[in-house]
Amino acid sequence: MTDHPLEAPRLHVGAILKAIEDRRMTAVDAIEAARRRIAAGDSEIGAFVCLAEDDARQSTEAPLAGISIGVKDIFDTHDMPTEMGSPLYEGHRPRFDAALVAMARSAGATIIGKTVTTELASIDPKDTRNPVAPGHTPGGSSSGSAAAVAAGFVAAAFGSQTGGSVIRPASFCGIAGFKPSFRLLPTVGMKTFSWSLDTAGLFAASVADLALLAERITGRPLTSLSAADANGLKIGLYRAKVDDHLDHEMTEAIGAAARLLERAGARIVDLAEPAALSEGRDSHRTIQGFEAARALMHEHVSGGDRLGPKLRAILDEGATVEPDAYDGARRCARLARKAATSLFETVDALLVPSASGPPPAGLASTGDPTMAKLWTLTGNPVVNVPGLTTSAGLPLGVSIVTRFGRDWEALTIADRLERLIQADRGRPSE
């Protein structure tokens, strides 16, 4: 690789598959190129914790042949350690792949390595650097996966989200991120933090790449993408009770995205947050803490002094949550899901901030998940749309949210918005 890693062009799922189809490269060539990029640049970025050995048996004909995927190190892999970012799991070797990993391999993708995760997918930061915002956090807990795609090391990566751990890193690293409807992607073989909230997700360079990747992994029709117009769409500008957390440049980014959609034919309407959804967001912490304290009880009890301080604090607090409080929070969550469904009786999609602002400076924090965690709780599909920036050039992601189960619609509208952003900035779409 001759490009500096911070300047390397990104790998696009669609472009790679088209080049292979047109016989301009082979699947083996594509994977070898990804390996070279990692070897040349990851010492600076720190996206990977482990790389797979070359697999001479890799498919050359399957639907995702030639596509390199980085896997967050909380998913089991039979051929690499799964250490969860924790000293408690040092040297842990699963015998079998997690379901999502197995599905990707079955489709012909190459699992090229394990990417950095915060400890047990919590919030104690690691040392992964942000490829597009040097000196700023790449986010968490899927920091390595987002950075690997943003640096152009791999065409795609797997992450997980319990609060905002796919959408926020995608926003901070200026790439596309997809948190699908709850359980669209299996979490079997993925380390549990909160069984009611944990959601497997995907990263890629563009929304079109995400849709193609998700379609070929799941076998579901998710690529009904169209031209960059928005005629007939009704988009809700979701006015949340926590909007006072927003950086002013994120507020401006949401406004800019809304204007682009409106000029392209969409109708933009304001939607005030219902009380049930505000209360649902507040219930997230109780549900997550209660479930994490039980899912990680053995780790907490037997290895608590070796856990990171932020994770330990979450588990300590979660262990104090009484069952009655947890049950009450679950009732709030159920009401929030019903309220979320009702929103889409009047709009096709919501436009919301992916994070409170650009990536914070330094590596002491992975950023605030507040803006994303409501939609994790409700289980709605969310797509981070990249392309907008602050006046200083830092990434600002905005999200499209649609009705539960309408993942294809979230990807379609997000693709339209990404193309509009690219056209507005004079950049060709991929």
Of the residues 157, 187, 218, the one at which a domain ends = 218
In a domain, 134, yes or no: yes
Q: Could you tell me if 70 and 202 are in contact, meaning their C-beta atoms sit under 8 angstroms apart?
A: no
Residue 221 has pLDDT above 60, yes or no: yes
Strands of the sheet with 395-401, listed across from one edge: 48-51, 110-115, 68-72, 156-161, 199-204, 176-179, 382-389, 395-401, 349-353, 234-239, 267-272
106 shares a domain with 239: no
In a domain, 225, yes or no: no
Tokens for 425, please give them.
């900035």
The torsion angle over the Cα atoms of residues 239, 244, 245 and 247, rounded to 10 degrees, is: 90
In a domain, 229, yes or no: no
pLDDT tier for residue 59 given thresholds of 50, 70 and 90: low
Report the pLDDT averaged over residues 404-420.
97
CA pair distance 340, 182, nearest whole angstrom: 14
Q: For the domain that residue 135 is a member of, what is the CATH number?
A: 3.90.1300.10
**pLDDT tens digit string along 142-174?**
999 999 999 999 999 999 999 999 999 999 999
Pairing label, strands 382-389, 349-353:
unpaired
202 shares a domain with 253: no
Question: Among all chains, which residue has been given the structure tokens 């002094």?
Answer: 305
CA pair distance 119, 314, nearest whole angstrom: 12
259 shares a domain with 202: no
Residue 183 has pLDDT above 60, yes or no: yes
Report the pLDDT averaged over residues 103-107.
98
Query: Which among 296, 313, 312 has a CA at the least distance from the CA of 304?
Result: 312
Report the pLDDT averaged over residues 235-250.
97
In a domain, 8, yes or no: no
Phi, psi of 18 (to 5 degrees): -70, -40
Is 335 exposed, middle or buried (CB count within 10 Å of its CB: 0-12, 13-18, 19+)?
middle
111 shares a domain with 199: yes
178 shares a domain with 255: no
pLDDT tier for residue 429 given thresholds of 50, 70 and 90: low
Overall pTM surpassing 0.75 (yes/no): yes
User: Which ranges constitute the DSSP H helices of 264-387?
Assistant: 275-295, 297-303, 309-318, 323-343, 370-378
Which of 163-172, 183-192, 223-232, 344-353 comes out lowest in average pLDDT? 223-232
Pairing label, strands 199-204, 156-161:
antiparallel
pLDDT for res 5: 39
Residues 6+ positions from 384 with CB-CB distance below 8 Å: 166, 167, 170, 171, 175, 176, 177, 178, 354, 397, 398, 399, 414
pLDDT for res 430: 53
* Residue 196: C-alpha distances to residues 90, 123, 163 (Å): 27, 18, 11
What percent of the chain shows pLDDT beyond 70?
Answer: 95
CA pair distance 207, 213, nearest whole angstrom: 10
283 shares a domain with 413: yes
Domain count, the chain: 2
Of the residues 166, 191, 218, the one at which a domain ends = 218
Phi, psi of 22 (to 5 degrees): -85, 5
What percent of the chain shows pLDDT beyond 90?
Answer: 93
Q: Could you tell me if 269 and 297 are in contact, meaning their C-beta atoms sit under 8 angstroms apart?
A: no
Greater pLDDT, 3 or 311: 311
pLDDT tier for residue 225 given thresholds of 50, 70 and 90: low
Domain that holds residue 103: 13-218
Query: Which among 343, 63, 95 has a CA at the least distance from the CA of 220?
Result: 63
In a domain, 227, yes or no: no
Catalytic site residues?
A: 72, 141, 165
270 shares a domain with 209: no
Query: Which among 413, 410, 356, 414 has a CA at the least distance from the CA of 379?
Result: 410
Q: Could you tell me if 149 and 10 are in contact, meaning their C-beta atoms sit under 8 angstroms apart?
A: yes
Greater pLDDT, 247 or 2: 247
Q: Could you tell me if 150 and 126 are in contact, meaning their C-beta atoms sit under 8 angstroms apart?
A: no
pLDDT for res 228: 55
The DSSP-derived string for 152-182 is TS-SEEEEEESSSTTHHHHHHHTSEEEE-ST
pLDDT tier for residue 57 given thresholds of 50, 70 and 90: low
CA pair distance 398, 136, nearest whole angstrom: 19
In a domain, 287, yes or no: yes
**pLDDT tens digit string along 348-373?**
999 999 999 999 999 999 999 999 99
CA pair distance 176, 195, nearest whole angstrom: 25
pLDDT for res 227: 54
pLDDT tier for residue 289 given thresholds of 50, 70 and 90: very high
175 shares a domain with 97: yes
**pLDDT tens digit string along 3-36?**
333 446 999 999 999 999 999 999 999 999 999 9
DSSP state of 359: P
The DSSP-derived string for 73-113 is TTB--TTS---TTSGGGTT---SS--HHHHHHHHTT-EEEE
In a domain, 6, yes or no: no
322 shares a domain with 205: no
pLDDT for res 60: 72
159 shares a domain with 131: yes
CA pair distance 148, 47, nearest whole angstrom: 5
In a domain, 7, yes or no: no
Of the residues 186, 218, 250, the one at which a domain ends = 218
Beta bridge partners of 349: 235
pLDDT for res 370: 97
257 shares a domain with 201: no
183 shares a domain with 60: yes
Residue 226 has pLDDT above 70, yes or no: no
pLDDT tier for residue 224 given thresholds of 50, 70 and 90: confident
